[in-house]
């Protein structure tokens, strides 16, 4: 996969994309003057806002057909841009996934294998590279990578984060570290607080383009919405939870270790209410851009750091390689670039693709250490050759009772292995069995495909440097 | 026995009280696991069984003391025996958690799992409940029988106090504080 990432088979070369970007932006400048001057508008290099939501699974958007959840602002990102409906994380766990977004690398490469193994500050983030290329950069929000406190993050002009609850932060009155200085919260609710800081940064007068990494605490465990949204879904009778789920699921199957004391229905309602608050803050960001007249010059990307089970497979939380856990929302709005807005991209996009994509948007060639690939060809063309399979990895995260998991997912099949004899391999035909209820592993008719997927898994492990050649 | 009550045989002092709560727990767990198989054909029945059996699980594990302890108490069980009886389902449940964990962890990792907040939580809750049950049983005993016994002996007080300390510590902020301390300790010790 990494070898494929070096631009092979792209619909447009980086140079062509840059030419397109420059031409479009230039045309805009000529036709409209220089809107929003002082906020880096109409630059050939776009402003970039990356919004990372926590535990937000792919199908929890109203535009994905959710039965009652209303997310008008995220839906607008889709209608104005694209929705990558087959977006995944290579590790379904906060810290490794976050490190993958920042570095464009697999967990076994950047080293943050779980929520305990520390962040190596020698890792190079896309923010650092953007800074080297003249961007104003800010990291605002949840860092949540193991290590002693917050790192001295290179390449950011602004670093605002929190350390409460082992870096998870808290929904209400969360103390922040603003450029290393402990600062009381200005707003009661964390998502509003972080958005305010992001808007403050965006509104600064500048000549450089900017990149804001807005990393939300929501919608992580405890699922506490702001007070005005609390209870908005309390009267919803049919929550649409899976048949195999019941209200007490959080108390059995070791699910209780994920902090799921209480009724599943209640927790799920709070989860959805908290998503609404995220949607509202995304709307504020977009309004802020429009007020500055730079919405057209700004690429806004919204992604989840991993999915979440709400009773599927009688599980709660994430980590496992099933779709609910590994699949995330991935929306891109960038009117200057995106061809045919309002479309869905079916290709399999990964969290490790973010860093090279952002760099590509900024006209920077990703270095060799980046293992993902830019999705810009998919934004500019409706037909671009793409990966046909990818590697999933999960490493034990004490004290959670999930073994090491390695999987390969193709368009049609998913093969899963674990590091424990208690959990035998699994094989699913995702097209015919999207809920992954019928394990084909061991059946005679699936013998060939099993062998094929096992070989593919080993190949991907070698290609990504997980194992030696 | 630390006061005058006719001591019944070991069967009535220990086996029956333990058997009742363990049986309740086993039945509840099995019914709970069976209930989803009915969800497509008998949705209402499946949900009802889930709810009832979940309640049964919770009562037998976290509140089973209030069933087993009085039975042992009034059968003349000693304090040690009452202790064993009170901890029967919490210990079995904790072992079940540890066995589940042993598929993933071994050695020191597994040993440290003993301090998992849920396990310390159920130990604390059992101590607290046992202390409360002990006090209630002693009050009932004093009213029922013409013996004068102390309601709050030092041992009962200590059991109650330890439980009273552990439970709020475990549950503070939904248990998250204790959990993060547990993970920090693990990280410090093992990584």
In the A/B pair of chains, how many CB contacts fall below 8 A? 82
State residue B144 phi and psi, 5-degree precision.
-80, -35
- Work out the minimum CA distance from A423 to partner chain B, whole angstroms: 9
Pairing of strands A210-215, A47-53: parallel
Looking at residue A23, its pLDDT comes to 39
Q: Across the interface, do B35 and A246 touch by the CB < 8 Å criterion? A: yes
Rounded to a whole number, what is the distance in Å from the CA of A246 to chain B's nearest CA?
7
Average of per-residue pLDDT across B159-186? 90
Q: How far is A420 from chain B (nearest CA, A)?
A: 7
Instruction: Report DSSP letters for B37-50, one per residue.
Output: GGTTT-HHHHHHHH
Is B104 within 8 Å of A403 when comparing Cβ atoms? yes
Closest to A108 (Cα-Cα) out of A466, A388, A381: A466
Give residue B147's pLDDT. 72
Which residues in A lie closer than 8 A to residue B32 (C-beta atoms)? 248, 252
Tell me what pLDDT residue A33 has. Answer: 32
pLDDT at A252: 74
Q: pLDDT class for B3, splitting at 50, 70, 90?
A: low
Domains and CATH numbers, chain A: 3-388 (3.40.720.10), 403-469 (3.30.1120.10)
CB A53 within 8 A of CB A305: yes
The reply to whether residue B190 touches residue A398, judged by beta carbons under 8 angstroms, is yes
DSSP string, A50-95: EEEESS--TT-SGGGT-SS---HHHHHHHHHSEEETTEE-SS-SHH
Nearest to A165 among B32, B109, B176 (CB): B176
Looking at residue A22, its pLDDT comes to 40
B32 HSE (CA, 13 A, CB side): 24
Q: What number of other Cβ atoms are within 10 A of residue A333's Cβ?
A: 26
Q: What is the DSSP string of A197-252?
A: HHHHHHHS-BSS-EEEEEE--TTSTT----GGGTTTTTT-------TT--TTGGGS
**How high is the ipTM of this complex?**
0.86
Test A243 with B182 for CB contact under 8 angstroms.
no
Neighbouring C-alpha atoms within 13 Å toward the C-beta of A289 = 26
Min distance B145 CA to chain A CA atoms (Å): 42
CA dihedral B3, B5, B8, B13 (to 10 degrees): -50
Q: Using an 8 Å CB-CB cutoff, list chain A residues near B182.
A: 399
- The DSSP-derived string for A84-141 is ETTEE-SS-SHHHHHHHHHHS--HHHHS--SSSSPPPTTSPPHHHHHHHTT-EEEEEE
Per the CB < 8 A criterion, the answer to whether B20 and B66 are in contact is: no
Q: What are phi and psi of A159, to 5 degrees?
A: -135, 105
Considering only CA atoms, which of B107, B9, B100 is closest in space to residue A402? B100
Residue of chain A with shortest Cα separation from B187: A116
- Report CB contact under 8 Å: A254, B100: yes
Query: Would you state the pLDDT for residue A332?
Result: 98
Among A395, A398, A404, most B C-beta atoms within 10 A, so best to mutate, is: A398
Return the closest-CA partner of residue A302 out of A77, A63, A46: A77
* CB < 8 Å to B50, chain A: 246-248
What is the arithmetic mean of pLDDT over B6-32? 95
What pLDDT, on a 0 to 100 scale, did the predictor assign at position A137?
98
Q: What is the rounded distance in angstroms from the CA atom of residue B182 to the CA atom of residue A218?
A: 24
- The residue ranges of chain A whose pLDDT is under 50 are 1-38, 40-42
């Amino acid at each position: 996969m990494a070898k494929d990432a070096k631009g092979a088979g792209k619909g447009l070369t980086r140079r062509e994309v840059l030419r397109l970007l420059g031409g479009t932006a230039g045309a805009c400048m000529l036709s409209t003057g220089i809107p929003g001057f002082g906020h880096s508008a109409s630059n050939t290099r776009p402003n970039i806002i990356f919004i990372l939501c926590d535990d937000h699974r792919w199908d929890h958007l109203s535009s994905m057909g959710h039965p009652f959840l209303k997310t008008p602002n995220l839906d607008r990102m889709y209608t104005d841009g694209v929705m990558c409906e087959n977006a995944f994380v290579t590790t379904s766990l906060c810290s490794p996934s976050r490190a993958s977004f920042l570095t464009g690398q697999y967990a076994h490469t950047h080293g943050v294998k779980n929520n305990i193994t520390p962040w190596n500050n020698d890792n190079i983030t896309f923010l650092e590279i953007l800074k080297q290329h003249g961007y104003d950069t800010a990291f605002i929000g949840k860092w949540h990578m193991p290590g002693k406190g917050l790192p001295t993050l290179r390449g950011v002009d602004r670093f605002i984060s929190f350390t409460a609850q082992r870096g998870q932060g808290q929904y209400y009155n969360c103390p922040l570290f603003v450029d290393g200085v402990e600062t009381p919260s200005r707003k009661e609710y964390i998502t509003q607080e972080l958005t305010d800081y992001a808007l403050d940064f965006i509104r600064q007068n500048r000549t450089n383009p900017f990149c804001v990494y807005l990393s939300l605490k929501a919608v992580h465990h405890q699922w506490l919405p702001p007070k005005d949204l609390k209870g908005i879904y309390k009267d919803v009778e049919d929550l649409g939870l899976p048949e195999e789920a019941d209200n007490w699921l959080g108390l059995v199957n070791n699910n209780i270790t994920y902090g799921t004391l209480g009724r599943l229905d209640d927790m799920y309602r709070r989860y959805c209410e908290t998503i609404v608050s995220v949607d509202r803050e995304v709307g504020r960001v977009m309004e802020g851009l429009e007020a500055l007249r730079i919405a057209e010059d700004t690429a806004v990307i919204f992604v989840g750091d991993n999915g979440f089970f709400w009773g599927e497979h009688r599980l709660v939380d994430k980590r496992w390689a099933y779709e609910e856990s590994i699949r995330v929302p991935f929306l891109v709005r960038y009117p200057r670039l995106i061809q045919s807005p309002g479309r869905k991209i079916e290709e399999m996009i990964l969290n490790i693709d973010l860093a090279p994509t952002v760099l590509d948007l900024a006209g920077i060639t990703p270095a060799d250490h980046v293992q993902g690939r830019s999705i810009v060809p998919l934004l500019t063309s409706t037909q671009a050759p793409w990966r046909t399979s990818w590697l999933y990895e999960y490493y034990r995260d004490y004290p959670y009772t999930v073994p090491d998991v390695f999987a390969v997912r193709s368009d049609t099949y998913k093969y899963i292995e674990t590091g424990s004899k208690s959990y035998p391999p699994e094989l699913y035909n995702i097209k015919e069995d999207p809920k992954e209820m019928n394990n084909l592993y061991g059946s005679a008719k699936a013998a060939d495909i099993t062998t094929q997927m096992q070989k593919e898994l080993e190949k991907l492990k070698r290609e990504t440097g997980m194992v030696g050649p | 026995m630390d006061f005058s009550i006719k001591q019944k045989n070991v069967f009535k002092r220990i086996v029956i009280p333990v058997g009742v709560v363990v049986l309740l727990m086993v039945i509840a767990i099995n019914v709970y696991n069976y209930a989803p198989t009915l969800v497509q054909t008998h949705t209402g029945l499946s949900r009802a069984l889930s709810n009832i059996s979940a309640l049964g699980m919770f009562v037998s594990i976290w509140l089973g003391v209030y069933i087993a302890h009085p039975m042992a108490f009034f059968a003349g069980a000693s304090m040690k025996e009452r202790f064993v009886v009170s901890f029967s389902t919490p210990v079995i449940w904790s072992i079940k958690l540890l066995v589940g964990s042993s598929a993933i962890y071994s050695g020191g990792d597994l040993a440290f799992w003993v301090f998992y907040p849920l396990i310390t939580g159920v130990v604390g809750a059992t101590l607290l409940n046992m202390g409360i049950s002990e006090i209630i049983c002693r009050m009932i005993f004093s009213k029922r029988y013409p013996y004068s016994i102390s309601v709050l002996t030092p041992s009962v007080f200590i059991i109650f106090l330890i439980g009273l300390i552990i439970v709020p510590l475990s549950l503070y902020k939904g248990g998250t504080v204790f959990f993060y301390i547990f993970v920090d300790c693990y990280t410090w010790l093992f990584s």
